[in-house]
Structure 1
Amino acid sequence: MTALIKKPQVLNKVQQEIRALVRKKGSVVEDDIHKLPYFKAVVKETLRLYPPAPLSLPRLTTKASVVDGYEVELDTRVYVNVWAIGRDPDIWENPNEFLPERFLNSSVDFKGQDFEFLPFGSGRRVCLGMALGIAEVEVTLANLLYSFNWELPTGIMEDDVDMDSLPGLNYSYEESTVFDGQKLFVVN
């Protein structure tokens, strides 16, 4: 939600798409989601920049190998840096910018077959809760975007909201961007 609020033009576009589909129905249901291509692109772009886990679950190597000149021995514990892959300039143009349009005419999906985009892992060890998690996130976010007008409070500019996370296995931020003595996000 924060990434959207920092980009009012993207927020407006995705809200228009959702509201045009739902109209007076009252809420977004799971069957509506596949009819919202821009919204789906927003979700993918969010997961690219902010994967649920910045590092994959650990794996043990099944044989000794050399990777980029580094010797990796048998049974070495390795992690995939999903966060870094999502921001790799060799893979993504303008990797640190929130640009949902990059996914509009792309077959890249989060099911683990596209190794440039692995928010839920891949292969036999793909996140078992991926389908449920995506469905919950999509329906909840779509309903929040349908039902409310979101904006930054008066006097707060997009650049004032810091989305840079601190290093670690989960996301943490130096400053609170949700509540800091006042509501950051105003719902009209």
Structure 2
Amino acid sequence: MPQYRRAWLEGSVYFFTVVLAERPSGLLIERSVLRNAYRLVADRRPFETIAICVLPDHLHAIWSLPAGDADFATRWSLIKSGFSRAMAASPTRSASKLAKREKGLWQRRYWEHAIRNEADLARHVDYIHFNPVKHGYVPRVRDWPHSSFHRYVARGLLPADWGGDMRSNEGPFGE
């Protein structure tokens, strides 16, 4: 099995993809459980959410960690466990998950990427906001309620029609 190495850069900005074990699912958007677990962890172990989009079975987020802090792993562990405690266990848990007392709701691993510069950050913010359209949940970015896109529009950072309208065959960036 390969050895995975995480980038531990104190006070850095990271892009994450975190996925439920069973896809497709609607667990992440059906309840306020994820929002509550997320807020509780953010209050106890502060970080800034630069961008986020929660889809039915996965989420993408960009976090900025405080200076001198690189511990995103504990934060994700606490968010995932807080969410899991409020949910029923998956009926199809493996022997390994049973032995570790895991409910089997989340994939154990997640994707993390250290943001390198402003252009990299902009690309990942765009990716996050366009993701519901990419997956076919909505024809326009503004139609997905579980996204920081609306905060970007309110702050004047993006226009409300950003990303186009897939119903009119207009491309994601006005193509």
TM-score (norm 2): 0.33
Structure number with higher strand proportion: 2
Please say which structure displays the higher CA radius of gyration: 1
